[in-house]
Structure 1
């Protein structure tokens, strides 16, 4: 893999044919699933790469129709901003945006999932009849439990495909105009990526193909196993911050919307450290009990921030300073509901409704398998499930009535370390 020269320069507009490629190779067909900020960004970047065709599948309401109509009237633009303020406008359109899987799935080498985790089952069921062996299925991000769900829904077809998962979305990005303009505010320096090849024989190199879509940044780092992604710190950042901020809230509206990352208090820092530390302990226990399992990429939360946001953090002395001085977090506030001129916390936001059943509950399930005690995780999880009106954790075990809504390993019949590594 070569290193790309920088293509970003102030107020420059780059046509697709002039964008250098990270990976050279035959024509690549990339299908992006979803209509989110990430889906817009990935489809625009993929379309801009030489010898690459980008398609989009979006099943939500009339998104495909809206997106198609917008592209008939306007160019499709990805605006990229770097830390130094320089910007680039990349213009390239997907060849088709559709709500019909039969129109876009056949012939796709890479299928990228970029939508909330609760929508993953709908898209997996939609693509399954048209899926061919060797297809690379990418969760961007996959979120803990993505592989379990792929295997559960796609059955034997999953074992003939490559299942790939990114630990986080590669960029901080936002749709400026639906179907025609999206802006990247910040790009991560590197992103950990897991790959399960199974019995597949992909036509396209999985890691190289995704790097080709993303460009030279972020740099994709392949992990030793999908479990390293599950136990990475990203999957548990949001719930402890919500807990630290709102656990003692009196239920009354507030006058000011607090900053999310850059407004953390001591309680949030304590539980961020505690929960992330329990992930590291779980990884160590897995390694001790199954020596063939490599877990070296599960690192302390502070180190994770220093690596992932290397270009964005101005002061990385400690966790607090990493959060406060991370420019990628500028202007990000707590999810709130406006009540007149005051505000109430939004406990139905994805920071809880997605990151608890598809994050914290999954890592708790792994800790139970490893035999690791998790007092910090338990305290945060119990508050979260009470706040959400759900029941996952009961007497220290994942036996609550709502456990089938989660992606914890126990739901899929994975109850031992051997179960977890059986499909590697």
Structure 2
């Protein structure tokens, strides 16, 4: 997106994952920062003296920073773009407005084995795309590896136990009768699916990789949002059928070519 808007001669950098989790305490005044990482990974594009900026970022964030070789190493991520949509689907795909939530469900502390199964299936498809793009093994670990788990049960237990994830509620809105319904305007829906998960789906189509688990979530979101995400040729630059107007095929292809080169 940045290359498309600013031009591919612009100096850019991006982290593989956020340096911490932040939550507003009092809007405009204070916030809590949780879940600090032991180390961070960053990639650069069109920047001279990368080592200087590695040192600068390490100092600013008080965290060791390592440099990755290419922007695709951090653009392709199985964090929020897979983690959030998989959980949303598990939580809300069977939601019935006649049976609303009495309390907002906890996003992580109530994590289920079913949520893990969906997440693992999406991650397998994601890893197929990663391999096809040519990203080196180990740059983007599987979610089972990242969360030190071996299967859906152990992954669910791990996600329920992470201290930084405590107290994070699923996106819901309070209704007039005091019950709660899914908040389909929340960023977990409006950002992580059409811009996060769809980027992975877009790359999969470029690489001719089938993604049935990811498609199931996207089709469900299409029904909620009224947007046509999978209708027509995603690769075509056609604003009438493709919802991802920010994705430029030429820019994406140039990134892939430069990675292979």
Scaled by the length of structure 2, the TM-score of the pair is 0.84
Moved more, 260-269 or 185-194: 185-194
The answer to whether 1:224 aligns with 2:224 is no
- Identify, as 1 or 2, the structure richer in helix: 2
Aligned to 2:227: 390
Secondary structure class of the residue paired with 1:413? helix
Question: Structure 1 residue 420 and structure 2 residue 219: aligned?
Answer: no
1: distance between equivalents of 2:53 and 2:89? 38
CA drift of 1:379 comes to: 0.6
Alpha-carbon spacing, 1:343–1:389, altered in 2? closer, same or farther (3 Å): same
Moved over 6 A (4+): none
Name the structure 2 match of 1:250: 96
- Hey, which of these two has a bigger chunk of strand by percent? 1
Which of 162, 170, 183 is the matching residue for 1:326?
A: 162
In our comparison, the structure showing a higher alpha carbon Rg is 1
Q: Which of residues 233, 236, 241 is equivalent to 2:87? A: 241
**Shift in alpha-carbon separation, 1:174–1:286, aligned structure 2, 3 A:** closer
Shift of 1:389: 2.1
Aligned residue in 2 for 1:280: 127
Tell me the alpha carbon deviations over residues 195-233 of structure 1, each in whole angstroms, 9 at most, x when there is no partner. Answer: 22x2x43598222111111013xx333333222223321
Match of 1:343 in 2: 180
Q: Take 1:415 and 1:203, find their aligned partners in 2: how far apart are those partners?
A: 23
- Of residues 16, 30, 33, the one that matches 1:167 is 16
User: In structure 2, what is the Cα distance between the partners aligned to 1:267 and 1:398?
Assistant: 32
Distance 1:160 1:201, change over 3 A: farther
- After superposition, residues 34-73 of structure 1 pair within 5 angstroms as none
Structure 1 stretches of 5 or more lacking a match?
1-148, 288-292, 308-315
Name the CA distance, whole Å, in 1 between partners of 2:182 and 2:124: 27
Partners of 2:106 and 2:170 within 8 A in 1: yes
Give per-residue Cα distances to partners, 1:171-207, cap 9 Å, x unaligned.
12234345543332331233332222x2x43598222
Work out whether residues 104 and 172 of structure 2, in 8 Å CA contact, stay in contact via their aligned partners in 1: yes
Q: CA RMSD in A?
A: 2.8
